[in-house]
Amino acid sequence: MPYFDSASSAPLHPVARQALRASLDEGWADPARLYREGRRAALLLDSARAAAAEAVGCRADELVFTPSGTQAVHAGMAGALFGRRRVGGHVVVSAVEHSSVLHAAGFAADAGGSVTEVPVARSGAVSPGAYADALRADTALACLQSANHEVGTVQPVAEVAGACRERGVPLLVDAAQSLGWGPVPGAWSLLTASAHKWGGPAGVGLLVVRKGVRFAPQGPSDERESGRAPGFVNIPAVVAAVASLRAVREEAAAESRRLAALVDLVRARVPELVPDVEVVGDPVARLPHLVTFSCLYVDGETLLHELDRAGFSVSSGSSCTSDTLTPSHVLRAMGVLSEGNVRVSLPRGTERAEVERFLDVLPRAVATVRAQLDAPVAGAARVTDADAAQAAYAGAALASEAPGEGGAPESAGEPEPAEAPREPESAGEPEPAMVVDALGRRCPIPVIELAKVFGSVPLGGTVAVLSDDAAARLDIPAWCEMRGQEYVGERPADRGIAYLVRRLS
């Protein structure tokens, strides 16, 4: 059964398995003890630290091992912010950071700090200029991932690191997705990573703090791992993690070329095989093994189940797979279609035959899900009784609402993730020719219902979609862009939101 979700967790590398077995016999003792078992354990730990530092490109005394990549992020951000508390409490992050970074930034904001989220382009990349503009005199820390975990886009870390250094702001880089492919470029100050992303065992993270960075570990600490990761180190797991990191680095050049060719095949063939698909992420500046696409009129969770039944394990950022029923924050920040989202991340060793079989299975899986949802067929149109919806829309509050003053993160600089929708003018905008009531119905039903009636809307006319699903705010504009229609804007209604679309063709 092909496993195509290595971005979540890569299969254990054979070298990691061998190293883990061997070190279980030598690395079980306390490395702080002076007797021979302790000395053997300490030697294993020191050797692993030196090898990890060489792979990262730092000094051995700058690197500590943590119980997870998430804990490395949290400890790194907390220590850097407290170490620079006299500067201020402002944090700059990109809008597509891993949730561990965003959660830590939100925690700092709740404690009295502030956060600026730098927007991304539709490719998922930040603009170095926009990132530099977000830095302030009270900025204590900046954070930028090396590559995005959902769409694979590689970020301009070196350029952003240079801008941060000019302003004296430390940059923390979340390198979880990219470290197995090579070192992170640029003059970064802190770095985090997680071994299970490159084929090491779960439960091992890395935290690097460069010399000269003001850093004060937070919470109870002890004498282990420079006080930055208290507790007994899992030495066998650490040894296995570092052994696998060195192994995958040796394979990286060849595997990168091979897997990139397979990803190119997926990027090219999926739009040819499946109608109404958007391939997202930067087509060039990307991780070699990862590709993400979204399918109109598809429930992402159901599609994943269909692919699983066909023997393929993939992931999704669709709102339909989320416990909160909200779209992926990454897809939302990019302004791309979220419904029917599929992330394919190929593990090392994936064969072309497996990818070709996936491409053979995918169209049937998508067609099955669309049929289950009664999705529209090309050229078909259906008019529904919308009297109740028209009444609901007629009661909508047409006056524009001012932006709230809540605690949402600031947004800084260009580029915008997508063109801002034009708000309908309450005096000049005619009543919609048709209203679709999708209240209480989840992604992708609001878009499906819109598509069914759209052919009956006169040219130049508008249709209003009433929806209380958070994904509609993302997917209806994305549908308009894919269909060449005009997304007019949104208005509050008696219930939910009214999304207005004008027919251009």
Give the lowest-confidence range in 150-154, 270-274, 292-296, 402-406.
402-406
Per-residue pLDDT reduced to its tens digit, 19-47: 999 999 989 998 989 999 999 999 999 99
The reported pLDDT for the residue numbered 333 is: 94
Which active-site residues does the annotation give?
A: 320
Residue of 418, 414, 395 lying closest to 491 (CA atoms):
395
Per-residue pLDDT reduced to its tens digit, 1-25: 799 999 999 999 999 999 999 999 9
Does residue 343 sit in helix, strand or coil?
strand
pLDDT grade for 318, boundaries at 50, 70 and 90: low
For residues 308-336, give the mean pLDDT: 79
Measured between alpha carbons, how far is 65 from 202 in angstroms, rounded to an integer? 12
Residue of 247, 120, 100, 109 lying closest to 176 (CA atoms):
100
Domain of residue 293 covers 255-372
For residues 199-206, give the mean pLDDT: 96
The answer as to whether 293 is a domain residue is yes
The reported pLDDT for the residue numbered 183 is: 97
Residue of 190, 183, 182 lying closest to 161 (CA atoms):
190
Measured between alpha carbons, how far is 223 from 229 in angstroms, rounded to an integer? 9
The residues pairing with 463 across neighbouring beta strands, listed in sequence order, are 434, 501
Q: How many residues does the chain have?
A: 505
pLDDT over 90 for what percent of the chain?
A: 73
208 and 233 inside one domain: yes
CATH of the domain at 438: 3.30.110.40
Give the lowest-confidence range in 127-141, 193-207, 308-322, 325-339.
308-322
Per-residue pLDDT reduced to its tens digit, 358-373: 999 999 999 999 999 9
The reported pLDDT for the residue numbered 196 is: 97
pLDDT at 168 over 80: yes
Which tokens hold the place of 16? Answer: 């990691």
154 and 73 inside one domain: yes
23 and 149 inside one domain: yes
362 and 306 inside one domain: yes
Q: Is 265 exposed, middle or buried (0-12, 13-18, 19+ CB in 10 A)?
A: middle
Measured between alpha carbons, how far is 439 from 389 in angstroms, rounded to an integer? 9
User: 430-460 burial, b for 16+ CB within 10 Å, e for fewer?
Assistant: eebbbbbbbbebbbbbbbbbbbbbbeebeee
pLDDT over 70 for what percent of the chain?
A: 88
Only one residue has tokens 């939100």, namely 106
The reported pLDDT for the residue numbered 253 is: 96
For residues 413-430, give the mean pLDDT: 49
Only one residue has tokens 């997870």, namely 68
The answer as to whether 75 is a domain residue is yes
User: 206-226 burial, b for 16+ CB within 10 Å, e for fewer?
Assistant: bbbbbeebbbebeeeeeebbe
Per-residue pLDDT reduced to its tens digit, 49-90: 999 999 999 999 999 999 999 999 999 999 999 999 999 999
The answer as to whether 319 is a domain residue is yes
The answer as to whether 8 is a domain residue is no
The answer as to whether 296 is a domain residue is yes
The reported pLDDT for the residue numbered 412 is: 64
155 and 287 inside one domain: no
Higher-confidence residue of 87 and 326: namely: 87
Q: Are strands 190-194 and 205-209 parallel, antiparallel or unpaired?
A: antiparallel
The residues pairing with 172 across neighbouring beta strands, listed in sequence order, are 143, 190
Measured between alpha carbons, how far is 311 from 81 in angstroms, rounded to an integer? 46
Measured between alpha carbons, how far is 139 from 386 in angstroms, rounded to an integer? 52
pLDDT at 294 over 80: yes
Which tokens hold the place of 178? Answer: 């990219």
The answer as to whether 402 is a domain residue is no
501 near 460, Cβ under 8 Å?
A: no
Per-residue pLDDT reduced to its tens digit, 446-490: 999 999 999 889 999 999 999 998 888 888 998 998 889 999 999
The answer as to whether 101 is a domain residue is yes
CATH of the domain at 206: 3.40.640.10
236 and 332 inside one domain: no
Which tokens hold the place of 408? Answer: 């949402």
pLDDT grade for 226, boundaries at 50, 70 and 90: confident
Q: H or E stretch including 16? A: helix 14-24
* Boundary (domain end) residue, out of 247, 276, 305: 247
443 near 299, Cβ under 8 Å?
A: yes
The answer as to whether 223 is a domain residue is yes
260 and 184 inside one domain: no
259 and 226 inside one domain: no
Q: Count the domains in the chain.
A: 3
CATH of the domain at 281: 3.90.1150.10
Per-residue pLDDT reduced to its tens digit, 82-106: 999 999 999 999 999 999 999 999 9
The reported pLDDT for the residue numbered 411 is: 61
Only one residue has tokens 């694979």, namely 152
Mean of pLDDT over the chain: 88
The reported pLDDT for the residue numbered 401 is: 40
pLDDT at 325 over 60: no
Q: How many CB atoms lie within 10 A of CB 359?
A: 17
* Boundary (domain end) residue, out of 225, 247, 269: 247
The reported pLDDT for the residue numbered 428 is: 56
pLDDT grade for 299, boundaries at 50, 70 and 90: confident
73 and 98 inside one domain: yes
267 and 287 inside one domain: yes
* Boundary (domain end) residue, out of 198, 221, 247: 247
195 and 230 inside one domain: yes
The reported pLDDT for the residue numbered 232 is: 85
Measured between alpha carbons, how far is 147 from 97 in angstroms, rounded to an integer? 9
279 and 366 inside one domain: yes
Alpha carbon distance, N-terminus to C-terminus of the chain: 44
